[in-house]
Amino acid sequence: MVEKQFKKGDVIFREGDNGESLFDITEGTVAIFTNYGTDSEQKLTELKKGQFFGEMAVIEAYPRSATAVAEDDVRVVEVSSGQVGDYFKNQPEKIIDIMNHLGKRVSELSADYGEVCAIIGEYRADKGKKDSLIDRIKKLAKAGGKNLANIESFESKKKAAAVAHSDGYSNKVESFSKGAVIFKEGEIGDCMYDIHSGKVGIYTGYGTADEKCLTQLDLNNFFGEIGVIGNTKRSATAVALADGTTLEMIAGKDLKELFEKNPPKVEMILAYMSYRLRKLTREYVTACEIAEKIAAGKAGDEVNTFKPNLYD
């Protein structure tokens, strides 16, 4: 671990670089860009003191998916991949910070993706006749990092299911009978879930004429991960599909203790969050590319065949 300083305009790392460390901002503001320095440059976000960046390259070996630039004078603590365990061991509260950071990114990107998908659906239904709709598409059709289209990593998914999730320390475990609703779409969530046994279905419009099963998950899978950041509305309903479905409930406040007593579990959660974020980014970029074609009047069959996919 080493403290580093950067001046305004300094590039901390570039898109495509091999990533071997994460950064904890202790002073200043860092901007994250795709296609930095090109005509299609797009600022994705700004990060400030107490926030992380570059963490996905440490969770799984992968090239940098964006460029980080100092917006003003910046100080960071750089933590190499080999030091992450010690870093969290000495400061276990940072586990909560990084999980909140990943959860927030997944939540925000899910909202952006949902908006683009909704507009594509409106265009398909209205056959593109509404000028106001085209204007909205043009505002949203900024795919930016097209080179991110293939960033999904299945290695992180394998890591998240490499061992039995019931092994080691578990804080809160509860069993559900078939048909039991674990959480409802629209209600506030405060935890994520880890399937120790049984099967869970994820639905939108559950119990209505518009009910749709998004996916079915069995043991050694996580779901409801946005709940770890707390006070976030559930985007779907989770239902037990088998008697004796046993789930571990993991809230943000539990992560520190969980890391102290069962570090591999936290590593699996981080790997899963990384996988979700990469997969969601891929789907978002695909949707934005379709929106760009619509805005340019070049859309074809992909508009009719496009299906939103937040889950496997």
Q: What angle do CA 110, 60, 161 make, to 5 degrees?
A: 75
* Alpha carbon 56 to chain centroid, angstroms: 11
* Residue pLDDT, tens place only, 155-165: 555 555 566 78
Same domain for 13 and 151?
no
Same domain for 277 and 151?
yes
Give the model's pLDDT for residue 134.
Answer: 58
**Structure tokens given for 212:** 């749709």
Domain that holds residue 37: 2-90
Give the model's pLDDT for residue 71.
Answer: 96
* Domain end position, chosen among 39, 66, 90: 90
Give the model's pLDDT for residue 267.
Answer: 80
Question: Is 312 inside any structural domain?
Answer: no
Helices (H), the chain: 56-59, 84-90, 93-126, 131-140, 154-160, 255-261, 263-295, 302-305
**Structure tokens given for 202:** 């994820």
Same domain for 227 and 276?
no
* Rounded CA separation 126/41 (Å): 32
Residues of the chain with pLDDT under 70: 57-58, 60-61, 127-163, 310-312
Kindly report the CATH number assigned to the domain that includes residue 199. 2.60.120.10
* Alpha carbon 309 to chain centroid, angstroms: 13
Give the model's pLDDT for residue 169.
Answer: 85
194-230 burial, b for 16+ CB within 10 Å, e for fewer? bbbbbbbbbbbebeeeeeeebeebebbbbbbbbbbbe
- Whether the pTM exceeds 0.85: the reply is no
Give the model's pLDDT for residue 144.
Answer: 41
Give the model's pLDDT for residue 150.
Answer: 42
Question: Is 295 inside any structural domain?
Answer: yes
Count of the separate structural domains present in the chain: 3
Strands 192-197 and 222-223 come out as antiparallel
